[in-house]
């Protein structure tokens, strides 16, 4: 092996390189081309690239990324659980986090040849772009606007499935941000590992296995609900049914009023109020976590804009929440019913927070278990073997030449 000349090495390297390039996929070819551009242009060794790398690897930026990651993961759901009534605070903070993530993404792409088009490149790209689902000025939920529900939107199965798929996509994007946690789990002390081949190998193996286990965990959480995506959407139609029944009574009352029949009009109004009270009693007696707080007579104008002319009083335990996004209104031709869904929204936000915490715990737990197993199975025996080799080499080199 040691007798191979420079021409032989060059020939073997040349043929091996050609064979490698033939076997590479499109992504690997692009990575190889970009790596050559970085190296040949001298950018990768320039002072500017070095300054960017130094800043990205600094403790300050590491703490900033860790804090930004926690904010990106939990702040949106915390806003729902806390029922924050405005968008300004969350939008400002999340926009700053988005800028930090974008700066890290661009900086690593320009200065780290192993990062570009790699695993973390795609995870960071998806996780950063998915933040558009958190901004109220983009695709996120507007806390100041209530949800309008109509009979057509409730009966349209395609719309319901699309909404479910959009929520699943937003969750997938958010969960990819959890992959950034691995960077803080797999980093070791570079000064200590610099001269220890066994620890370097162990660290790389732990990083590779932890990344794949974490990706598998997130993929299962995201992909499992896809199997039920095309099932008939299960939903509570009681709110729509009550609004349609009350709307029939409201239309009868409006027709009687328009005909000038005062006696019939008074009787139909009394019946409408009794049915409205039955609505309140229905949700109060069933112990539901959501229910109506406002029933309004009026008329539907152009662009599905309902104009309220009279509010029907009825007793209920529900009230108008501060966060308008927790309100769902069912607008009919002559009546509009508003429901308070703040408690289900809070429970949904808490479930999302619990899911994120559970995934982080699973990733960290399996990462530590694998790290310990790799250390016991591979690291310690390899260290002992290298220690013996080092000792024998020292003894050989210490023998005087004759």
Q: Is residue 366 part of a domain?
A: no
Q: Give residue 135's region: left, alpha or beta (phi > 0; psi -120 to 50).
A: beta
Question: pLDDT of the chain along its 402 residues, tens only?
Answer: 334 444 444 444 444 444 444 444 676 777 778 778 877 787 878 888 888 888 888 888 888 888 888 888 888 888 889 888 888 888 999 999 999 989 988 888 888 877 887 777 887 887 788 888 888 888 788 888 887 775 554 445 555 555 566 666 666 666 666 666 665 555 544 444 444 566 666 667 766 776 777 777 777 777 777 676 666 656 778 888 899 899 999 999 888 888 888 888 889 889 999 999 999 999 988 878 899 999 998 888 776 788 888 888 889 899 889 898 889 898 888 899 999 999 988 988 888 888 888 877 877 777 777 777 777 777 777 777 877 877 888 878 776 655
For residue 133, being part of any structural domain is answered with yes
From 328, 347, 366, the end of a domain falls on 347
In a domain, 59, yes or no: yes
Whether 354 maps to a domain, the answer reads no
Residue 190, in any domain of the structure:
no
Q: Quick one: tokens of 388?
A: 């013996």
Q: What is the pLDDT at residue 292?
A: 92
For the record, the structure tokens of 220 come out as 């299962």
Contacts of 55 (CB under 8 A, 6+ apart): 61, 107
At 192, which helix (H) or strand (E)? helix 190-193
Q: How large is the C-alpha radius of gyration of the chain?
A: 32
Pairs from 341-350 (Cβ < 8 Å, separation ≥ 24): 341/290, 342/83, 342/290, 343/289, 343/290, 344/289, 344/290, 345/80, 345/83, 346/80, 346/81, 346/83, 347/289, 348/80, 349/77, 349/78, 349/79, 349/80, 349/81, 350/77, 350/81
Distance CA 15, CA 232 (A): 58
Residue 28 inside a domain? The answer is no
Residue 116 resides in a domain = yes
Structure tokens at 42: 């001298």
Residues 6+ apart with CB under 8 A from 316: 280, 283, 284, 291, 292, 293
How far from each other are the two terminal CA atoms of the chain, in whole angstroms?
27
pTM: 0.72
Q: Where does a domain end: 143, 160, 189?
A: 143
Tell how far CA 359 is from the center of its chain.
12
Q: Is the torsion defined by CA of 289, 348, 244, 339 positive or negative?
A: positive
The closest alpha carbon to 290, from 230, 234, 256, 337, belongs to: 337
What is the CA angle 246-306-87, rounded to 5?
Answer: 115
Q: What is the pLDDT of residue 246?
A: 92
Q: How many CA atoms lie within 13 A of 7 on its CB side?
A: 0
Q: For residue 208, what are the CA distances in angstroms to 26, 201, 218, 223, 391?
A: 22, 11, 16, 22, 31
Say how many domains are in the chain: 2
Reduced to 3 states, what is the DSSP secondary structure of residue 65?
helix
Beta bridge partners of 335: 297
Q: Would you state the pLDDT for residue 359?
A: 79
Among 143, 81, 85, 146, which Cα is nearest to 339's? 146
Which tokens is 43 given? 């950018």
State residue 7's pLDDT score. 45
3-state DSSP call for residue 299? strand
Dihedral angle at the C-alpha atoms of 39, 41, 47, 51, nearest 10 degrees? -60
- With tokens 């260290």, the residue in question is 383
In a domain, 283, yes or no: yes
Task: Write down which residue in 88, 110, 143 finishes a domain.
Answer: 143
Helical ranges in 2-156 per DSSP H: 6-23, 26-41, 47-56, 59-81, 88-111, 119-129, 151-155
pLDDT at 170: 63
In the structure encoding, which two tokens stand for residue 97, read together?
Answer: 């986090």
Owning domain of residue 305: 238-347
């Amino acid at each position: 092996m040691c007798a191979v000349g420079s021409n032989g090495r060059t020939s073997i390297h040349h043929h091996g390189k050609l064979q490698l390039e033939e076997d590479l996929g499109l992504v690997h070819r692009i990575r190889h081309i970009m790596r050559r551009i970085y190296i040949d242009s001298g950018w990768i060794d320039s002072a500017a690239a070095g300054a960017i790398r130094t800043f990205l690897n600094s403790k300050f930026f590491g703490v900033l990324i860790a804090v930004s990651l926690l904010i990106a993961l939990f702040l949106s759901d915390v806003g729902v659980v806390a029922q924050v009534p405005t968008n300004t605070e969350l939008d400002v903070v999340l926009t700053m986090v988005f800028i930090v993530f974008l700066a890290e993404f661009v900086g690593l792409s320009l200065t780290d040849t192993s990062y570009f088009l790699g695993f973390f490149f795609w995870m960071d790209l998806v996780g950063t772009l998915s933040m558009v689902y958190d901004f109220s000025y983009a695709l996120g939920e507007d806390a100041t606007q209530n949800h309008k529900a109509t009979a057509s939107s409730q009966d349209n199965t395609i719309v319901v499935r699309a909404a479910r798929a959009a929520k699943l996509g937003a969750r997938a994007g958010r969960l990819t941000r959890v992959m950034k946690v691995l960077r803080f789990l797999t980093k070791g002390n570079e000064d200590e590992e610099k001269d220890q081949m066994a620890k370097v190998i162990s660290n790389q193996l732990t990083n590779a296995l932890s990344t794949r286990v974490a990706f598998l965990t997130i993929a299962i959480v995201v992909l499992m609900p896809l199997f039920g995506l095309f099932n008939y959407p299960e939903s509570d139609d009681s709110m729509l049914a009550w609004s349609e029944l009350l709307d029939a009574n409201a239309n009868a009352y409006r027709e009687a009023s328009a005909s000038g029949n005062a006696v019939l009009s008074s009787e139909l109004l009394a019946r409408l109020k009794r049915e409205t009270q039955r609505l309140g009693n229905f949700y109060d007696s069933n112990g539901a976590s959501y229910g109506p707080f406002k029933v309004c007579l009026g008329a539907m104008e152009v662009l599905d804009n309902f104009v309220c002319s009279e509010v029907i009083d009825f007793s209920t335990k529900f009230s108008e929440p501060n966060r308008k996004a927790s309100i769902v209104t069912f607008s009919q031709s002559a009546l509009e019913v508003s429901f308070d869904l703040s408690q289900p929204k809070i429970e949904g936000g808490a479930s999302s927070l619990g899911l994120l915490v559970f995934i982080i715990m699973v990733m960290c737990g399996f990462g530590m278990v694998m790290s310990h197993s790799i250390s016991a199975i591979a690291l310690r025996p390899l260290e002992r073997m290298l220690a013996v080799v080092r000792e024998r080499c020292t003894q050989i080199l210490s023998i005087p030449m004759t």
